[in-house]
A = this chain, B = another copy of it.
Amino acid sequence: MKRRCTIALDAMGGDHGPSVVVPAARRFLATNPHVSLILVGKEDLIREHLSGEPLEERVRVHATTQEVAMDELPSKALRGKKDSSMRVAIDLVKDGGADACVSAGNTGALMATARFVLKMLPNVDRPAIITAVPSLYDHTHMLDLGANVDCTAEHLFQFAVMGSELVAAVEGIARPKVALLNIGQEEIKGNEQVKQAHELLSSSGLNYIGYVEGDGIFLDDLDLVVSDGFVGNVALKCSEGVARFVRHSLASQFRRTWLTRLAGLAALPILRGLRRNIDPRRYNGASLLGLRGIVIKSHGGADEVAFENAIYIAEKEIHASIPQRIGEQVGRHLDREQYRETA
């Protein structure tokens, strides 16, 4: 039996707030009897969505008075919203009232608040955002996805160490295959940071397999792709855009004539299968790595299935003791002489 744990949910975050978070919580509890949830937010709104059901003993409402808007400046949220659902969910992790928190709120505000409240692990300079993406080898992980727009080689190296440890713990892979995102066009490939990070990784204890180009994320046998947050964010958003574009093109092809509509009916189970394969909801939930606590970011537009997946990721990270493991790994890798010398 799994160890009992508690997860705080920012019930007000995202585009849909409690109307998604509360049903997602209910779904999750049904299949995870060892987990308790704290719904953080406006009490009346949350109770409305609990809609008369007897409040299960494994759910509790933690009332707050403020909310962070999706377009609010992180600095403003940090200074002015000390009783926001987002802030209080993170405070609960800090104070030990919860083992992790999940929010679909504003990424910048979540990152700034989590960093301020929970603090960074020793030897980690920057937090990074990591998520899984579908690939021909089922899936791979990518980081950073937007927390850091400008990165040094040492930052990229730290991301690789953190990401590799997360993948090892969560996926049960002894030595995850780590690649560095690069381009193949230049005489001496890539920019300075990437080339230096390549040196650091090549002489590290990680299972580093070298450079990968953008298409390799989705086609190659890899466990982790490392890049700075600007490039990683563009890569992730591009993949979402292309997937939507293809779905849209397919749908419009099927709508053309009554004959193609008929073919579409016949192909419906296949299209459903494809949809399942590339369903972004199955991949919803990005981890903020490098903090002294577990914070999971759900997509703002997540529905209850997608948000439930983000809660599931929080649970996995709790049981894998992610922050502790990453803290140890970063310490171990940063003690290695070659890194100190180069850095």
Contact = CB atoms under 8 A, between A and B. Distances in A.
B230 A253 contact: no
Contacts of A331: none
Contact of A218 (B186, B242, B277, B278): B242
Query: Taking the full assembly, how many copies of this chain does it contain?
Result: 2
Contact of A270 (B146, B219, B230, B263): B263
A138 to B, nearest CB: 11
Interface in A163-215: 181, 183-187, 190-192, 213-215
Interface in A199-242: 213-219, 227, 229-231, 233-242
A237 B263 contact: no
A55 interface: no
Given A185-B147, A263-B269, A267-B264, A242 B238 contact: yes
B186 A215 contact: no
A214 B229 CA distance: 13
A266 interface: yes
A301 interface: no
Given A246-B243, A266-B266, A270-B260, A214 B190 contact: no
A127 B250 CA distance: 37
Interface of A: 73-75, 107-108, 111-112, 134-136, 145-147, 149-150, 181, 183-187, 190-192, 213-219, 227, 229-231, 233-246, 248-250, 253-254, 256, 259-260, 262-264, 266-271, 273-274, 277-278
Given A183-B233, A218-B245, A260-B270, 16 more contacts: A74-B187, A135-B245, A145-B185, A147-B185, A150-B192, A181-B234, A214-B235, A214-B238, A218-B241, A218-B244, A231-B234, A234-B234, A242-B243, A249-B277, A263-B263, A263-B269
